Structure 1
Amino acid sequence: MAGDGLITIGGLARACGLTASALRFYDDCGLLVPVRVDEATGYRYYSEAQVECGVMIRRLRGIGVSLEVVSEILNGDAARAGRLLDEHVAELAQRAREAAAVARVIKEEIGAGVVLSAAVLAAAIEQVRSAAALDREIPVLAGVLVESDADSVTLTATDRYRLSTRATVPVRPSGVAWSMVVDAGELGGIGSWLRGLDEVIVRAPDEGLVLTGGDSERRCGTIDEAFPDYRAMLAGLGAVRTRVVVGRDALLAVLEGGAAPVVFAVDQSGLLATCDRQLRPGSPGSLGSPGSFGSPYSPGSPGYTDPLARLHIPATVTGPGIELAFSPTTLRPALVSAIGPEIMLDIAAADAPVVVRSATDGELTTLVMPTAIPNSKEYGA
């Protein structure tokens, strides 16, 4: 303390929580000027009333108020000071929102986040997830392999009898490659959430798959086992001998309502499907339809009923004829997940996986394993 009730610069610094150098700076810019400066020594002396002003300056500067606005607040009336503070707080809030948005982007980039169309991801999950095993005899087959690289995000599932894989193009790739096997059951519950979003950020931290969209996120657990090398399986497929382009709905109609194998005789006229049950009433070419292959009454044999249902399905066939059989429980899900009115079947042999492609969505590929052709006695040959 100095005489005459004055305070030295050090005393004022301690009283208001500022440093002596800060007080010198505020003196130089005219914000907090000492009441007296000793001409001989240059010492600055302040009044006790200036302690409150020093505290106010410290608090305003602590929340980022500029020197110019601090001066206006100190020298203006209470109403103007209030307006200036409100404006400053609003500016801080806006800057905080902008900073949070930038931080989210940076965190996404650091966390290998990849941005996808939410609708595309929802469709890919629905198409691929049905190929995962329903039981957990082999746990990894109850999952979906999710892979991200510089160009795409690919989903793949297989239950050993069917394999589906779908590649999607990111809205913004992450530049970091990663993969994990996600529990198919957990993926099944997020479709409706995804359809309510425009875009979704997909990340793969250690604890599982994280999907973020809007103001919410979903987390899916993983299966810590090696997924089968499906790329080697695809690369090892035999050469295509017969290609069929056929209507999706016509094939589905044949597969409804039963689990027994359906035999398809393929030739240049199309497909002749044979099964041991009645087809859906009214189906084109079904039992009882004029001109059908499986009419219940053969000419010249009144009352004769054929125990088999046969249906001729028009198709465009390239390559030699072939006969093969499918279990409806295996083939039907592959057709249901496809998009568009036409399906392309690439056939190498009657005992080799058949590649099922959607003529509308070339990014979806499904392999379906044929089953053994029932013996001739069972199918009336």
Structure 2
Amino acid sequence: MKFRVERDVLAEAVTWVARGLPARPPVPVLAGILLEASDDGTLTLSAFDYEVSARVTVAADVTEAGTVLVLGRLLADISRNLPNRPIDVVADGSKVQVTCGASRFSLLRMPADDYPTLPTAPEPTGSVDGHVFTQAVAQVSVAADRGDTLPILTGVRVEVDGDKMTLLATDRYRLAMREITWSPTATDASHVVLVPARTLSETARSLGASGSIDVALGATAGGDGLAGFEAGRRRTTTRLLDGEYPKVASIFPTTSDTEAVVRTDELVEAVKRVALVAERNTPVRLRFGDGQVAIEAGTGDDAQASEAVECALTGPEIEIAFNPTYLLDGLGQVGTDWSRISFTQASRPAVLSGQKEQDGEADTSYRYVIMPVRYAS
């Protein structure tokens, strides 16, 4: 194998493929990136850890077609640090020679025959705007569980009903849901899948700038549950999570007694400052009254802090407490100048949504439900 490729092209491609390489691969070859040079002037780079696969195809000046497997993270480090000149790659016996200007590296050639075959994605289900999808995934995945106690809660539930896609995640203490419009290949498309949240987040961020993302949901010919995502010449698949996701839609309150509208950035900054004195797992208390919300943390002999922020209140005054991290996570994903918080009781979940103007309507396409925390008065 022998080819020449532009330094920035190779560095970007290797970095993208290497992002999912396992830190502790179960078998040594899974630490590698597969390079396949073709006579049609393309270079394909692939990585796979039995759960997630990534593949990208770039243009290259191929002198001799062939396939080699080299350590992925080492190749990524080298390609990022080479001078901005064309890179020549040549397979030479048990080594792979990488030359760029006066820089020369000799990499160990790994056994490509032992590398597993990458899965084939299911048939395309539809396409979605990259920016919208990236934002939606970020808004929802923030509520996914980060532990291993209940693996099913580490996923994002993706439901497709015609041209509507609903993403939902929960860790039992908060719940996030976002509804978006997409373009299905079939008008009667209907799917429900559970995608690992971390993988979905990384995929959305890496493909979102491409404009449009092709999405494939469902089973492959071999019966495996996979989700596939493709944008441009970048393709990735991930194995779906198995199990029945809890029926959490009932958590959303159907009515509200009190609603508060507050500037998002002002509330974020105030909660951040007040939470500085909150011990771990200690809530911040919010008192919503006429014209303002008072934020407090700390009691008794502990450090204390308080701050007030203007708000427009509809309904009875209410005092409620939240985990500050969970509250800030939701406020950070609203994405609008104003936030609306709806309450029923101080002991019941509150619903956070965004709105563009103080006197406007709430945008309920994104809703973030947060459970209150009991506190000593």
Report TM bin, short chain: 0.5 to 0.7
Alignment partner of 1:365 out of 358, 367, 371: 367
1:264 and 2:291 matched: no
Structure 2 counterpart of 1:320: 316
Alignment partner of 1:339 out of 320, 330, 335: 335
Structure 2 counterpart of 1:82: none
- Rounded Cα–Cα distance in structure 1 between residues aligned with 2:135 and 2:328: 17
TM-score (norm 2): 0.60
- Secondary structure of the 1:224 match is coil
Alignment partner of 1:202 out of 212, 215, 221: 215
Alignment partner of 1:154 out of 153, 156, 166: 166
**TM superposition shift of 1:358:** 1.2
- Secondary structure of the 2:269 match is helix
Aligned residues: percent identity? 25
- Rounded Cα–Cα distance in structure 1 between residues aligned with 2:305 and 2:364: 33
- Rounded Cα–Cα distance in structure 1 between residues aligned with 2:312 and 2:232: 46
The structure carrying a bigger strand percent of its residues is 2
- Rounded Cα–Cα distance in structure 2 between residues aligned with 1:184 and 1:221: 12
- Secondary structure of the 1:189 match is helix
**TM superposition shift of 1:255:** 2.6
- Secondary structure of the 1:340 match is coil
The code of the aligned residue for 1:326 comes to F
The code of the aligned residue for 1:274 comes to E
**TM superposition shift of 1:327:** 0.9
**TM superposition shift of 1:371:** 0.4
- Secondary structure of the 2:210 match is coil
- Rounded Cα–Cα distance in structure 2 between residues aligned with 1:174 and 1:214: 22
**TM superposition shift of 1:193:** 2.1
Q: What is the aligned-residue RMSD (CA, Å)? A: 2.3
* Contact residue 266 and residue 322 of structure 1 kept, 8 A: yes
Assess, with a 3 A threshold, how the Cα gap between structure 1 residues 113 and 306 changes in structure 2: closer, same or farther.
Answer: closer
- Rounded Cα–Cα distance in structure 2 between residues aligned with 1:214 and 1:264: 47
**TM superposition shift of 1:192:** 3.3
Matches within 5 A, 1:167-246: 167-172=179-184, 174-175=186-187, 176-206=189-219, 207-234=225-252, 237=253, 239-246=255-262
- Rounded Cα–Cα distance in structure 2 between residues aligned with 1:217 and 1:178: 21
* Contact residue 119 and residue 194 of structure 1 kept, 8 A: no
| Cα deviation 1:147-192 (Å, max 9, x = unaligned) | 1111311110000010000011014453320111111121121233
Assess, with a 3 A threshold, how the Cα gap between structure 1 residues 214 and 238 changes in structure 2: closer, same or farther.
Answer: closer
The code of the aligned residue for 2:178 comes to R
- Rounded Cα–Cα distance in structure 1 between residues aligned with 2:163 and 2:213: 17
**TM superposition shift of 1:307:** 4.6
**TM superposition shift of 1:315:** 0.2
- Larger CA deviation: 164-173 vs 128-137: 164-173
The structure carrying a bigger helix percent of its residues is 1
**TM superposition shift of 1:335:** 0.7
| Cα deviation 1:48-103 (Å, max 9, x = unaligned) | xxxxxxxxxxxxxxxxxxxxxxxxxxxxxxxxxxxxxxxxxxxxxxxxxxxxxxxx
**TM superposition shift of 1:212:** 1.6
- Rounded Cα–Cα distance in structure 2 between residues aligned with 1:208 and 1:216: 17
- Rounded Cα–Cα distance in structure 1 between residues aligned with 2:185 and 2:286: 43
- Rounded Cα–Cα distance in structure 1 between residues aligned with 2:314 and 2:241: 42
**TM superposition shift of 1:114:** 1.4
Paired residues in the alignment total 239
- Rounded Cα–Cα distance in structure 2 between residues aligned with 1:172 and 1:147: 12
- Rounded Cα–Cα distance in structure 2 between residues aligned with 1:185 and 1:269: 40
TM-score (norm 1): 0.59
* Contact residue 152 and residue 167 of structure 1 kept, 8 A: yes
- Rounded Cα–Cα distance in structure 2 between residues aligned with 1:172 and 1:178: 11
Structure 1 counterpart of 2:264: 248
- Rounded Cα–Cα distance in structure 2 between residues aligned with 1:168 and 1:243: 25
- Secondary structure of the 1:188 match is helix
- Secondary structure of the 2:245 match is coil
* Contact residue 149 and residue 173 of structure 1 kept, 8 A: no
The code of the aligned residue for 1:189 comes to E
- Secondary structure of the 1:227 match is coil
Assess, with a 3 A threshold, how the Cα gap between structure 1 residues 204 and 121 changes in structure 2: closer, same or farther.
Answer: same
Assess, with a 3 A threshold, how the Cα gap between structure 1 residues 166 and 344 changes in structure 2: closer, same or farther.
Answer: same
1:350 and 2:346 matched: yes
Assess, with a 3 A threshold, how the Cα gap between structure 1 residues 209 and 306 changes in structure 2: closer, same or farther.
Answer: closer
* Contact residue 193 and residue 218 of structure 2 kept, 8 A: no
Assess, with a 3 A threshold, how the Cα gap between structure 1 residues 173 and 312 changes in structure 2: closer, same or farther.
Answer: farther
* Contact residue 238 and residue 348 of structure 1 kept, 8 A: no
Structure 1 counterpart of 2:296: 274
Greater Rg by CA: 1
- Rounded Cα–Cα distance in structure 1 between residues aligned with 2:337 and 2:298: 26
Structure 2 counterpart of 1:115: 127
**TM superposition shift of 1:213:** 1.6
- Rounded Cα–Cα distance in structure 1 between residues aligned with 2:319 and 2:347: 10
Structure 1 counterpart of 2:73: none
